[in-house]
């Protein structure tokens, strides 16, 4: 206990101020003693030690400095605390993927009070970007005001078209601090499948994700699994074609169904049992290791536990270092310079200096590379692994112009720069799509395979990976 108290005293600003003032006083008023006076200091105390007169100006300076130092210390501590709170508040919604809670409720109206209490007492729940609930048992007789959750936007897909009087229904609660631009793309409801697509454009998203499409799914226990999966796969494929840059997050109660059998590229991320020892509630994305599932206590008398899906995906910009690439800038002038270099070259020198065809080939090739290095200028640039293939240098300049207009506060220039950037971005996407189409329709097999790799994002495995396999 004593060392801790000593450390706290030594680290306090008051103690530092005392040492500073004491040192200043010692320098301005020096007192000297003889050997006899030091030996008899108890009996003979010199008057100079106690009768020290300091001017009022010096005293005001010392007191003012102490007050300013204490005020600055308190301000720094306050700013530090506020900075920590602001940083935590921002980081809660600046993850690459949204944090989601998933559950089968067995009637949402009976659990509204529990959801409200949970949002007030549990930070993980209140900071969740989205809440996905299935078997809400909702109908037109229940107003949306009775289901309101402060800070969340509600999207309902009821079950009336299935012909059932009870059961089914899905809904989304979208956190307004994560996204306010959320709209329903489409809904589908039949006896074998209930599905809802919600398009979300959050305030923050990584460069590789433009928007998120959340899909709530409920497949009843008595449904025809193959027919339900086929309908769901058709809806997902159609949505992917309409929104090429989107990330689909498919959530819900699948019971006996498994979407990976119909769409193998989608991975299932819920690994904890959701009802007894069975995993009935699923989460699918095309991203490897996107989520880590954690079971929570069930809401009310529901027999399904509440699943917290924590993002574990690491965005591309942080997963790998940028690649440094050097390219040659070929122009008509540089080609003429290179041709002139070849014209003045005496090629017979290489034939006389070599005795073997392989040696001659290697020598001539090295000389040609040397001439290219001399005549053709090069340019070095960085390639980030989250760069879009259609994002050209022109688009980079337009984006920088948009940022400059925003910082300068010129609203008219900012709107014009944003419009130009969006227009050029759409044109660049169409040009890139035509390029891929031409590669696939050409008679060149190399171009065809290159186009297939670009579409499927296939990467050739490294030799180390093949050796380990």
C-alpha to C-alpha distances, 19 to 12, 16, 22, 29, 52, nearest whole angstrom: 11, 5, 5, 15, 19
Confirm if 337 and 375 have CB atoms less than 8 A apart: yes
pLDDT tens column, 248-270: 999 999 999 999 999 999 999 99
Digit-coded pLDDT (tens) for 118-154:
999 999 999 999 999 999 998 888 888 889 999 999 9
Whose CA is closest to 284, among 329, 250, 316? 250
Which pLDDT belongs to residue 278?
A: 94
Residue 244 neighbours by CB under 8 Å, 6+ apart: none
Element (H, E) at 183: strand 181-190
The sign of the dihedral angle between the CA atoms of 163, 166, 167, 169 is positive
DSSP 394: H
- Domains of the chain as residue ranges with CATH: 2-91 (no CATH), 100-319 (3.60.10.10)
> What per-residue confidence (pLDDT) applies to 465?
42
The pLDDT score that the predictor gives to residue 166 is: 67
Categorize the per-residue pLDDT at 27 as very low, low, confident or very high, splitting at 50, 70 and 90: very low
Give the N- to C-terminal CA distance of the chain in Å, as an integer: 58
Give the pLDDT mean for 407-413. 88
What confidence tens digit (pLDDT) does each residue in 370-406 have?
998 889 998 887 777 767 777 888 888 898 898 888 8
Quickly list DSSP for 109-175: GGGHHHHHHHHHH-HHHHT-SEEEEE-----TTS-GGGG--TTEEEEEE--GGGT-SSS--EEEEEE
Confidence of residue 8 (pLDDT cuts 50, 70, 90): very low
pLDDT-derived band at 88, boundaries 50, 70, 90? very low
The predicted pLDDT at position 37 comes to 65
Q: What is the mean pLDDT of residues 84-97?
A: 54
Whether 437 contacts 431, CB under 8 Å: no
266-274 contacts, C-beta under 8 A, 24 or more apart = 269/293, 269/309, 270/102, 270/307, 270/309, 272/305, 272/307, 273/305, 274/104, 274/304, 274/305, 274/307
- At 61, is the pLDDT very low, low, confident or very high (cuts 50, 70, 90)? very low
- Using CA atoms, how far apart are residues 312 and 357, in angstroms rounded to an integer? 57
Position of tokens 């169904």? 257
Q: Among 134, 90, 97, which residue's Cα sits nearest to residue 292?
A: 97
Confidence of residue 73 (pLDDT cuts 50, 70, 90): very low
Q: Rounded to an integer, what distance in angstroms lies between the CA atom of residue 228 and that of residue 244?
A: 24
pLDDT at res. 457: 60
Q: Confirm if 305 and 274 have CB atoms less than 8 A apart.
A: yes
Q: Binning pLDDT at 50, 70 and 90, where does residue 2 land?
A: very low
Q: What is the CA radius of gyration of the chain?
A: 36
What does the pLDDT look like over 318-351, one tens digit per residue?
A: 777 778 888 888 889 988 989 999 999 888 888 8
E strand or H helix that includes residue 235 = helix 225-242
Q: What secondary structure does DSSP assign to 400-436, as a single string?
A: HHHHHHHHHT-HHHHHHHHHHHHHHHHHHHHHHHHHH
Could you tell me which residue, 59 or 278, shows the higher pLDDT? 278
Q: Which two tokens stand for residue 148?
A: 């309101």
| Residue in the structure block whose two tokens are 């690649």 | 323
Confidence of residue 87 (pLDDT cuts 50, 70, 90): very low
> How far apart are alpha carbons 245 and 209 in whole angstroms?
7
Task: Give the C-alpha separation, 319 to 312, whole Å.
Answer: 12
Q: What is the mean pLDDT of residues 419-433?
A: 87
Q: List the helix and strand counts (H, then E) for the chain.
A: 17, 14
CA-CA-CA-CA torsion sign (363, 364, 370, 373): negative
pLDDT at position 232 over 90 = yes
Banded pLDDT at 40 (limits 50, 70, 90): low
Mean pLDDT of the chain: 79
CA dist., res. 94 & res. 202, Å (int): 10
CA–CA distance, 280 with 271 (Å, rounded to integer): 10
Q: Which residue has the higher pLDDT, 245 or 157?
A: 157
Is residue 214 scored above 70 in pLDDT? yes
Task: Tell me the two tokens of residue 258.
Answer: 């498994």
């Amino acid at each position: 206990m004593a060392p801790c108290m000593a450390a706290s005293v030594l680290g306090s600003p008051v103690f530092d101020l005392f040492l500073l003032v004491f040192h200043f006083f010692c320098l301005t008023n020096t007192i000297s003693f003889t050997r006899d006076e030091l030996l008899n200091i108890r009996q003979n105390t010199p008057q100079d030690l106690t009768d020290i007169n300091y001017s009022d100006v010096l005293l005001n300076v010392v007191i003012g400095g102490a007050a300013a130092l204490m005020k600055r210390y308190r301000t720094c501590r306050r700013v530090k605390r506020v900075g920590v709170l602001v940083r935590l508040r921002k980081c809660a919604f600046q993850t690459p993927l949204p944090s989601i809670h998933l559950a089968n409720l067995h009637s949402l109206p009976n659990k509204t009070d529990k959801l409200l209490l949970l949002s007030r007492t549990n930070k993980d729940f209140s900071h969740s970007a989205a809440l996905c609930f299935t078997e809400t048992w909702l109908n037109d007789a229940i107003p949306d005001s009775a289901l309101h959750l402060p800070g969340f936007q509600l999207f309902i897909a009821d079950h009336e078209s299935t012909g059932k009087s009870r059961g089914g229904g899905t809904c989304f609660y979208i956190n307004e601090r994560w996204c306010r631009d959320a709209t329903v793309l489409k809904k589908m409801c039949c006896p074998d499948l209930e599905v809802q697509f919600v398009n979300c454009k959050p305030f923050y998203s990584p460069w590789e994700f433009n928007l998120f499409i959340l899909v709530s799914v409920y497949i009843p226990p008595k449904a025809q699994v193959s027919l339900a999966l086929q309908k769901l796969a058709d809806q997902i494929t159609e949505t992917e074609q309409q929104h090429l840059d989107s990330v689909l997050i498919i959530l819900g109660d699948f019971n006996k169904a498994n979407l990976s059998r119909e769409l193998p590229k989608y991975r299932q991320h819920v690994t904890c049992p959701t009802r007894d020892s069975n995993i009935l509630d699923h989460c699918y994305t095309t991203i490897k290791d996107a989520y880590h599932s954690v079971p929570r206590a069930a809401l009310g008398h529901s027999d399904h536990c509440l699943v917290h899906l924590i993002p574990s995906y690491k965005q591309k910009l942080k997963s790998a270092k940028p690649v440094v690439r050097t390219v040659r800038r070929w122009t008509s002038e540089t080609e003429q310079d290179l041709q002139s270099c070849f014209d003045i070259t005496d090629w017979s020198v290489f034939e006389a200096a070599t005795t073997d065809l392989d040696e001659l080939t290697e020598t001539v090739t090295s000389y040609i590379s040397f001439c290219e290095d001399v005549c053709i200028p090069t340019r070095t640039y960085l390639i980030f692994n989250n760069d879009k293939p259609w994002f050209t240098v022109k688009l980079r300049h337009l984006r920088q112009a948009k940022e400059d207009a925003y910082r300068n506060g010129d609203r008219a220039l900012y709107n014009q720069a944003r419009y130009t950037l969006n227009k050029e971005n759409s044109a660049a996407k169409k040009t890139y799509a035509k390029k891929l189409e031409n590669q696939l329709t050409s008679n060149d097999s190399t171009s065809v395979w290159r186009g297939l790799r670009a579409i499927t994002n296939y990467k050739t495995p490294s030799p180390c990976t093949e050796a380990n396999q």
